[in-house]
Structure 1
């Protein structure tokens, strides 16, 4: 069936979608888990961030090549259908539709409600507030993407900037801080954890939450049919977006 979608998005929307999808609850909620998994060793933790970035960029190069060769709407599902056939594509799509995306959307909307409640000084045990806020957030975004043409892209760009600015400030103030005059790799006696485990094992354990923090970039392929120049913009958005995120996370 021939696709006749309106080409409404450019590189900036695709790039902000990669960055906006990846930079989310992972960097805010997984950093502590990564330090815990590394036994509070900052060298291992930062090495895990670097390794996770390299793995993601190599994966992005593969996806960018496939996306440029198969510039169809549907992203990963369309690519799998062309490469492996309808049956495998159906199984992957079914798993995403029934299991993966509902769980992911529920998780993200829940944390959105938690952050909103924290900002408004609402009791975190107020489940009614959390439920209503999460439902309204999901409903609003669904309505925007269903009934408007380009507002969704603008919201994505704005939301990406809203997440990058505080992380950038945290990074800058972290490097400017004089609280740790011994350097960023120095561990105080109160944070050192004595362990006999191999650094490679600790690196592997730390890599698990790191990869969660890098997850989601491949879904920029779902707007391939909406991109004005998909063969040029999609690969650039994936590769440059992942490179930017990797450097940002490490810093």
Structure 2
């Protein structure tokens, strides 16, 4: 049941400016992916040219979505972001399906995965944090030190953000600036001081001949046709996951100054900054590492392999520190923004009632701590790695619905104030919908076992919604 008017008088403080919003976009997008996923991309498409094509294509797709979201964020500059857009364009059912998928898997699953990535790289600096250090063993259920450290960081960041949005803002801005400077420093150091001309020449000879690397890494088998298409789709799972969470800034619209202008501008600036960093980082990899070394870097840690050429034996420690900073900042942005969705859902009677209340620091602490507990539980399952495929699948479904909502709202609310209109409308939004639909269908076809669970997750929320509605009517 939606809260009564007198119960919702508290208001969030508009503490965040354009720089803060842009740093939230960048910080939420850059986690551990850029340091790792290029290995899997290279195994699927083989060559340097195709590796860069995948990252550029991902950046273009992400930018098209971000530019389209600008119109929606300007129309509805309040907490909840994508949840609000779906409710306005469709109905509460579609918004509910998104909100609960967001809580059950999309946001909390990502928080868990990023937290464990932080812990795994912390083990480079202090070995007892390793996932091989089993602290509790009950048959097949095991708890390791890496999981405990991940949970500790999630609780710490939740506590910091429960003390006011200003605290989360400061951490986010500082860590993201450090992250950007560190990545540019790594790229420049690699291209200037560790450039290997023979490796560059070899990698970029026939650079646009696609292929797949054999298991032992010594040979690349040329591919084409449907095999190439399947390889591109599989490769883009990692790059899209690494470029996701750009829309988190829309969830905190209620705390951004001049949101009609700053949200859309932060989406544009943030996605461009991240795309440039990702493409340059991969160009640097191809200037230092032979393609077979990228494809078969130990544990897929491409950045570690590259840094050893750049910095010598200290490279592993430097990259571990960079990834810890990157993932810590990334999770801060995810934790900060995610709770605002549950806050708005609760105000509509679609989440725990207490989540609609703000604490004395004007932040939704109930939503923060509920998110914290579930994300921590996902850390303990050990299944977060398996979520990657169907997280992306579910995310794409709701991105498609949200951007299609622009067309719907142009018809149903033609007179609504639109301070900003979607760039390139109707062509850019329509092109995004087509590309995302192709990716979604291909993922469902080629990765049915994982993406099928994502589809099932969304569908099973439908009866939950109607049972909830019936309960509320009987209660009244």
User: Please, what TM-score do these two structures have when normalized by structure 2?
Assistant: 0.49
Give the equivalent residue in structure 1 for 2:260.
Answer: 231
Tell me, which stretches of 5 or more residues in structure 1 are unaligned? none
How far, CA to CA, are the matches of 2:218 and 2:261 in structure 1? 47
How far, CA to CA, are the matches of 1:48 and 1:65 in structure 2? 27
How far, CA to CA, are the matches of 2:112 and 2:184 in structure 1? 27
Whether the 8 Å CA contact 2:45–2:228 is kept in 1: the answer is: no
What secondary structure is seen at the aligned counterpart in 2 of 1:217? coil
Q: How does 1:117-136 map to 2 (within 5 A)?
A: 117-122=123-128, 124=130, 125-127=132-134, 128-136=144-152
Deviations 1:147-171 (A, max 9, x none): 2240101111122123223321221
Whether the 8 Å CA contact 1:69–1:231 is kept in 2: the answer is: yes
Deviations 1:35-86 (A, max 9, x none): 11112x0100101111111110000011111101111111111111111121
Deviations 1:6-47 (A, max 9, x none): 1111111110110001111221221111111112x0100101
Matched, 1:25 2:32: yes
Give the equivalent residue in structure 1 for 2:196.
Answer: 179
How far, CA to CA, are the matches of 1:166 and 1:32 in structure 2? 21
Q: How does 1:1-251 map to 2 (within 5 A)?
A: 4-39=11-46, 41-122=47-128, 124=130, 125-127=132-134, 128-176=144-192, 177-181=194-198, 183=200, 185-186=203-204, 193-198=220-225, 200-201=228-229, 202-251=231-280
Tell me: CA distance 1:187–1:140, structure 2 relative to 1, closer, same or farther (3 Å).
farther
How far is 1:216 from its partner? 0.8
Deviations 1:109-161 (A, max 9, x none): 11111121212243621244213211210111111111224010111112212
Higher RCO (CA-CA < 8 Å; seq separation 6+)? 1
How far, CA to CA, are the matches of 1:34 and 1:100 in structure 2? 22
Whether the 8 Å CA contact 1:47–1:203 is kept in 2: the answer is: no
What secondary structure is seen at the aligned counterpart in 2 of 1:216? coil
How far, CA to CA, are the matches of 1:134 and 1:196 in structure 2? 40
Deviations 1:195-238 (A, max 9, x none): 23348524343222211111111111111000011011100100
Tell me, which stretches of 5 or more residues in structure 2 are unaligned? 135-143, 207-216, 281-476
Tell me: CA distance 1:123–1:104, structure 2 relative to 1, closer, same or farther (3 Å).
closer
Measured on the aligned residues, the alpha-carbon RMSD in Å equals 2.2
Whether the 8 Å CA contact 1:45–1:203 is kept in 2: the answer is: no
Give the equivalent residue in structure 1 for 2:367.
Answer: none
Structure 1 consecutive aligned stretches of length 4 or more whose deviation exceeds 6 Å = none
Whether the 8 Å CA contact 2:63–2:268 is kept in 1: the answer is: yes
Q: Which has the larger radius of gyration?
A: 2
Whether the 8 Å CA contact 1:24–1:163 is kept in 2: the answer is: no
What secondary structure is seen at the aligned counterpart in 2 of 1:183? helix
Quick check: 219-228 or 155-164, which moved more? 155-164
How far, CA to CA, are the matches of 2:63 and 2:228 in structure 1? 21
How far, CA to CA, are the matches of 1:95 and 1:178 in structure 2? 45
What secondary structure is seen at the aligned counterpart in 1 of 2:16? coil
How far, CA to CA, are the matches of 2:23 and 2:115 in structure 1? 19
Tell me: CA distance 1:170–1:143, structure 2 relative to 1, closer, same or farther (3 Å).
same
How far, CA to CA, are the matches of 1:57 and 1:100 in structure 2? 20
How far, CA to CA, are the matches of 1:25 and 1:44 in structure 2? 21
